[in-house]
Structure 1
């Protein structure tokens, strides 16, 4: 099970200011999928837990969920069912009950979903971060054999904000300026944050700054489509 981490370095003076003004650190995770899905708050570090060197650690340990929550801004996704799964597995929503099961019939490198029920659901994946398995995305899925294929990507977004937002909340616009960090080809990154200068990585082109109100759906969700069509056809 691969483990990844990102360390955020902040000066002692800036940590004091962030804590005094109630800034929390919010994290989001990137995926590849098709359809009108949205990122959700993956993790939240409250102001009192900020350090001069704050380390975020996550593993390739996944769960899948289905939900009747609507995918809309500021909605907290509440899972109806959650199940352990892994990359390459197929999560099937059973007809009549809406329960889910995971089998080894999916696409490599992705968590696939197949909805055999006659009800529309919201589906997505959880990933273990800082010791907790939290929802990181939400996608609508129609019934009668519709499919979703969600591929986790080793890219994260970090945002400091004074807003109070729960994990699993759908967020489509950045609450404040943030950093988009690419861990492709590595398992660790170190970044710097200063309250007046923002995010930096000593010139590393794997960090991209983004502004408040940036469209997080465009930033974090890479579009794919052919796999879902093939999966739906395969189930018929």
Structure 2
């Protein structure tokens, strides 16, 4: 099959082992874009989501705004950012943060809202302040939802970070774009495969994180808000 020979040609190319077009170098660039974007998105969205989820205010507005934000075209955002800020990392980060932040915001809001009201009432009853209730009761309860949101945001950002190549930057998208431009199909196929493998690797990492990092009582918890049980 053609694609098997394309991949063989791509990975056997000496340029993929050394120099600026090496796989390790392009992978490091890609991970840098993704890591910075996820860090900025988390700093912006998670604290706000925790606060809104705890107070229960503006949750309808959050849903509407995040729905609109998710519908924004990433390449269009990159192009607009280039026109405003010029070619550079900023253009890509703006687009990737705009992609990841809504997912993390909704995950934080829904995670805190899904905390059992009886637990919150009991915590307040023993004298905990609202801040203590949020951090000691609601945030641990929201961890499954936060991890699920972070997993979704990470996979989306990994796939979308290929747009960095459209504004002259690096990353794995460089292989895809340059391959298409020069009809170098082995390079295009190899770059696409690397993006897929990186996304699958991120998925596997979050599976392990969910298994070993969460307390045993939270590993099987649902990430979304569940219905309250009727009182008998």
* Structure having the larger proportion of residues in strand: 1
TM-score, L = length of structure 2: 0.29
Q: Which has the higher helix share?
A: 2
TM-score by length of 1: 0.28
